[in-house]
A and B are shown apart, each in its own frame.
Chain A
Amino acid sequence: MRLERLQQIIDAYGADPARWPGAELAAAEALLARSAEARAALAEARRLDDMLDAWTAPAPDPWAAQRIAGAAHELAQRRPGLRERLAALLPFEPVWPQLAGLAAALVIGFFIGFGDFAEPDAGDTLDVAGIVLGISSWEYSL
């Protein structure tokens, strides 16, 4: 093993050989034994490790396992709704939402299209520009 590789291992995994890649451990330790430079790199990494070890993770609350088991039990007890039961009968993903969306788009499209073909009656038309711009028709017709 070259010193550069050992330096890379120390930079990545820290000073504890227990964290080093198993396949390279023997070669890394052999190089460490004969290289003062490698030992200096190790001492430097150990300082960072000491800092990292100061950050302790809290233990889970003592009831965590019971709370989680209870939540799973509730999930198992919950009766499936009509939608879940219908979905379970299908061999494929439910397509009801997509079909409903398509049907709604067809209905809206039909009414818009029908409105275009209908003969406009001057008295019944909406003053869309007036609504959007907030002005009366006489203001923009001037």
Chain B
Amino acid sequence: MDLQIDALVTPDREKMQDLTDETLMGRVATGDHAAFRALVDRHVARATALAYRILGRRAEAEEVVQEAFLRVWTTAPRWNLDGALFRTWFSRVLTNLCIDRRRRPRMDPMEAAGDPADPSPGADAAIEERQRGALVAAAMAELPERQRVALALCYWQEMSNIEAAEVMQISVGAVESLLVRARRSLKEKLAHRLGRSEQG
């Protein structure tokens, strides 16, 4: 059935490329599958990265991203443009779902960043990079959720402080304050972890 859906929407997909998110959302409101697929294609990678930065687990991130897109599909008929950008609204839906998910009890440990070791030339540098990434992931997991969300939005998603404030529904000053605390805390945690790993 998935292949049928793909075939159904593929001819329309190219036509959708020039349309804004908000126009696509208007079409999704009328039940237009091709418009929905275009929105998903456009935002799925970015959304998965954001969810992963907040949750720290790929499988959970993918589940939450699917849930957020289904929220788009079901709420589109009631979606109020009101000057809001789709990206801002969608990021808010996604971050709220991530926070809800993180508050649930977790049985499994935080997953290590990266893939298995690669024996090819230059692999040492890649391993070192992955180890550094794993340290950052572990330090991020210890941050309070609002600091983590602010950093994920402004640093990795490269959102402006104004847009991040709209996503988080707080003031720009509050976003900046969260960022300062997040970076300061990460710096301390990473220095501590790096010191420990060098001793070990």
Task: Give me the interface of A with B, judged by CB distance under 8 Å.
Answer: 8, 11-14, 18-19, 21-22, 45, 48, 51-52, 54-61, 63-73, 75-76
B86 at the interface (CB under 8 A from A): no
Total number of residue pairs linking A and B with CB closer than 8 Å: 119
Residue of A at shortest CB range from B186? Answer: A48
Do A69 and B136 touch across chains, with their CB atoms under 8 A apart?
no
Are B53 and A57 within 8 A (Cβ)? yes
Query: Do A58 and B48 have beta carbons less than 8 Å apart?
Result: yes
User: Cβ of A58: which chain B residues have Cβ within 8 Å of it?
Assistant: 48, 52, 58
Q: How far is the CA of A22 from the CA of B70 in the complex (A)?
A: 34
How far is the CB of B70 from the nearest CB of chain A, in Å?
6
A66, B135: Cα distance in complex, Å: 33
* Chain B residues within 8 Å of A, Cβ to Cβ: 1-2, 5-6, 9, 31, 33, 36-37, 40-41, 44-45, 48-49, 52-53, 58, 62, 65-66, 69-70, 73-74, 113-114, 129-130, 132-137, 140, 154-156, 158, 160-161, 176-177, 179-180, 183-184, 186-187, 190
Residues of chain B with a CB closer than 8 A to A64's CB: 44, 48, 62, 65-66
Closest to B190 in A: A51
- Cβ contact within 8 Å between B158 and A56: no
Given known A59-B45, A68-B44, contact A52–B155 (CB-CB < 8 A): yes
Q: Are B48 and A59 in contact (CB under 8 A)?
A: yes
Answer whether A56 and B36 are a contact pair too, CB < 8 Å, given A11-B184, A19-B154, A64-B44: no
**Cross-chain contact A69 with B48 (CB below 8 angstroms):** no
